[in-house]
Amino acid sequence: MSTVAQNRRARRPQEFKPLVSVIVCAYSDERLGQLRETIASLRDQTYATGDIVVIVDHNPALHEQLRTLTADGGRVAPNSGDRGLADARNSGIALARGEIVAFIDDDARADNGWLQRLVECYRDPAVIAAGGRIEPVWEGGRKPAWLPDEFLWVVGCTYRGMPKRRRIMRNMIGCNMSFRSEVFASVGRFDTAIGRLANQPLGGEETEICIRALNHWPDKKIVYTPDAVVYHHASRSRQTLGYFARRCYFEGVSKVIVRRLWGAAGTSSELNYLSRSLPRAIRRDVRNVIFLRDVPAALSRIGAIALGVGAVGAGFGAGMFRERGRRH
């Protein structure tokens, strides 16, 4: 081989094709149709999904219905731990074969370029985790007029105030996230004391493991890339003020646990959200009221912001009270 040919070959970029495991956690027979759509979207990726793992959370009947997935190259297994999302995810991690482990909810559908765009983030060796945008699909066809876009995290979706371009972030939202497998090998798995359990909408386990990983590797980073998109079903049951207030309350409870574990890092992003994103939302709707633009909806959104902040505060206060009780 000539020297010129050798130099050209040396300059070619190495092929970057890590194996990706995608973990889907399921618990309800009612979501079976949506789960099948989730699996179909994973099989339609532009980047080959080499390993699909469906973890069934203590529902033998659903497990039996999903056995046909194994014939198509997917794997179905029960949650080997206690009931709840964190242990279900941990059961999937134990079975994952990939160098990258991605997560999507059982009521979400991935854009066909989802995995490709997540994987591209890992070309940078400093990236230990990557997540993307989550678009709501509203049961009934439209978002409730009273729900501010800044509170779309309540239904597990990307909310106004998140970046519109690729950016380093503290943590990801669970419906659209991925990690290098070495994260779990080095810092452990999801904290089961924090995560969602049945109808109790706790959260924060994604935040906690991200902070734990960044604390372990201060020179590494987590990336948010909005072009990696999934579409998340927002059921009617999650479009009520009752669910909204309850979800906000338990978010406050969860933040106390994360703050106990990691100090100020556990609420740094939330303080920025409170001091910047929500005041902007209020100013926007105050202007709508002043200029007589859809006044009832604008007033209802201002009220929802007040309710949401109050509920988070109440949950945070209740969590602090419990923490003091634990120490005494």
Q: Which pLDDT score, from 0 to 100, does residue 202 have?
A: 67
Instruction: Give the rounded percent of residues in the chain with a pLDDT score beyond 70.
Output: 91
pLDDT band at 11 (very low <50, low <70, confident <90, very high): very low
Element (H, E) at 255: helix 241-262
In a domain, 7, yes or no: no
In a domain, 52, yes or no: yes
Do residue 123 and residue 167 come from a single domain? yes
Do residue 127 and residue 24 come from a single domain? yes
Do residue 105 and residue 206 come from a single domain? yes
Do residue 231 and residue 319 come from a single domain? no
Domain that holds residue 269: 264-327
Do residue 201 and residue 282 come from a single domain? no
Q: Whole-model pTM? A: 0.91
Rg (CA), the chain: 21
Query: Could you say which of 204, 239, 274 is where a domain stops?
Result: 239
CA distance 102 to 116: 12
> What are 316-325's pLDDT values in tens digits?
999 898 777 6
Lowest-pLDDT range, 68-82, 227-241, 263-277? 68-82
Element (H, E) at 18: none
In a domain, 4, yes or no: no
Do residue 288 and residue 232 come from a single domain? no
pLDDT band at 266 (very low <50, low <70, confident <90, very high): confident
Do residue 194 and residue 268 come from a single domain? no
In a domain, 21, yes or no: yes
pLDDT band at 328 (very low <50, low <70, confident <90, very high): low
In a domain, 276, yes or no: yes
Res 71 pLDDT > 60: no
CA distance 85 to 79: 9
Lowest-pLDDT range, 24-38, 103-117, 177-191, 200-214? 200-214
In a domain, 34, yes or no: yes
- What's the first-to-final CA gap in the chain, in angstroms? 76
Query: Could you say which of 201, 222, 239 is where a domain stops?
Result: 239
In a domain, 224, yes or no: yes
Do residue 268 and residue 230 come from a single domain? no
Element (H, E) at 178: strand 176-180
Res 278 pLDDT > 90: yes
CATH number at 127 reads 3.90.550.10
CA distance 167 to 222: 9
Do residue 58 and residue 187 come from a single domain? yes
Q: Report how far apart, in Å, the C-alpha atoms of 298 and of each of 143, 236, 301 are.
A: 14, 21, 5
DSSP tag of 246: H
Higher-scoring residue by pLDDT: 8, 243: 243
Res 195 pLDDT > 70: no
CA distance 129 to 121: 8
Q: Which pLDDT score, from 0 to 100, does residue 216 have?
A: 97
> What are 86-139's pLDDT values in tens digits?
999 999 999 999 999 999 999 999 999 999 999 999 999 999 999 999 999 999
Do residue 299 and residue 224 come from a single domain? no
pLDDT band at 4 (very low <50, low <70, confident <90, very high): very low
Token couple for 243: 């669910």
In a domain, 244, yes or no: no
Number of domains in the chain: 2
Do residue 162 and residue 310 come from a single domain? no
Query: Could you say which of 239, 256, 283 is where a domain stops?
Result: 239
pLDDT band at 162 (very low <50, low <70, confident <90, very high): very high
Do residue 51 and residue 188 come from a single domain? yes
Res 13 pLDDT > 60: no
